[in-house]
């Protein structure tokens, strides 16, 4: 995963949103302080979730594993608090919440299922989901479903270990808008799921290590545009409106940012 440089936030004006000068300055100063306090190797902005009362700014920092990260949120761009882990049972309940975020980490969402409200016989009812947990679960779900990288940005070495490709030269300008050149950045993809046709057509086992977003259903769930005279690709997710990815090949840089209400488009199947 590429960690967004605040200097690259200007690319997202091509998608219709950006951060103002005051926000950028506050983010840069407070994240540097957080990095120094916790002795983090890197910390960068992940996005902004718009709440009814207040907005959540979200940042992330890499762990030992390429998929492991710590997440932090801030309501004032001064204090950054680490988000809690979410259990599989909590994630199931978080996915059933569809309304807007309020902007209050302590707000508790009511248990809507009658069976859950009363609990199983002889058991206490489940603990309500607070908004801090919902924020953590929503970020994890969004990352799994729409976080992407350009083809060739990572590779598997001879020991099958996933590594960033320091020789990545970017996608060719003529192919910037092709969805086959962008992969889901998530673990668990079995290379044997590729069809024989796919594996026969410009296939590289060391580079084609993730699932291409061109296979996502329903078709049309991704929007791809090439801007600035063909020098920048802008990809938008219609499943999670507000997730935007950019890739500029010369010099090669790429990144993503989320700017939205944190709501999944559950009606996407009826829209396409």
Rounded Cα–Cα distance for residues 29 and 86 (Å): 29
Rounded Cα–Cα distance for residues 213 and 175 (Å): 15
pLDDT of residue 192: 64
CA angle in degrees (0–180, nearest 5) for 85-90-96: 130
Q: How far is CA 179 from CA 69, 81, 101, 116, in A?
A: 26, 36, 31, 41
Which H/E stretch holds residue 263? none
pLDDT of residue 68: 86
pLDDT of residue 122: 59
Rounded Cα–Cα distance for residues 142 and 160 (Å): 26
Domain extents in the chain: 148-271
HSE-up of 69 (CA within 13 Å, CB side)? 23
Chain Cα centroid distance, residue 103: 20
Verdict on whether the full-model pTM lies above 0.85: yes
pLDDT of residue 112: 60
Which stretches of the chain drop beneath a pLDDT of 70? 1-3, 111-124, 189-202
- Tell me the DSSP string of 97-116: --S---S-TT-EEPP--HHH
Cβ–Cβ < 8 Å for 204, 214: no
> Using alpha carbons only, how large is the chain's radius of gyration in Å?
20
């Amino acid at each position: 995963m590429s960690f967004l440089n605040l200097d690259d936030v200007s690319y997202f004006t091509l998608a219709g949103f950006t951060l103002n000068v005051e926000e950028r300055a506050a983010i840069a100063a407070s994240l540097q302080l957080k990095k120094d306090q916790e002795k983090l190797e890197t910390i960068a902005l992940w996005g902004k979730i718009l709440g009814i009362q207040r907005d959540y700014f979200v940042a992330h920092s890499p762990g030992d594993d390429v998929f492991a990260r710590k997440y932090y949120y801030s309501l004032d761009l001064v204090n950054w608090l680490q988000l809690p882990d979410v259990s599989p049972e909590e994630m199931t309940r978080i996915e059933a919440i569809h309304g807007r975020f309020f902007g209050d980490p302590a707000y508790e969402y009511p248990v809507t299922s009658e069976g859950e409200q009363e609990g199983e016989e002889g058991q206490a009812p489940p603990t309500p989901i607070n908004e801090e947990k919902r924020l953590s679960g929503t970020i994890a779900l969004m990352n799994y479903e729409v976080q992407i990288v350009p083809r060739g940005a990572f590779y598997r070495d001879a020991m099958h270990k996933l590594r960033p490709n320091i020789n990545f030269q970017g996608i060719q300008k003529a192919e910037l808008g092709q969805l086959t050149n962008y992969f889901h950045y998530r673990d668990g993809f079995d290379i044997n799921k590729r069809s024989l046709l796919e594996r026969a057509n410009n296939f590289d086992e060391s580079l084609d290590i993730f699932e291409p977003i061109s296979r996502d259903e329903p078709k049309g769930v991704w929007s791809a545009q090439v801007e600035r005279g063909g020098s920048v690709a802008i990809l938008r997710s219609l499943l999670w409106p507000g997730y935007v990815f950019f890739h500029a090949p010369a010099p090669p840089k790429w990144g993503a940012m989320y700017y939205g209400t944190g709501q999944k488009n559950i009606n996407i199947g009826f829209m396409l």
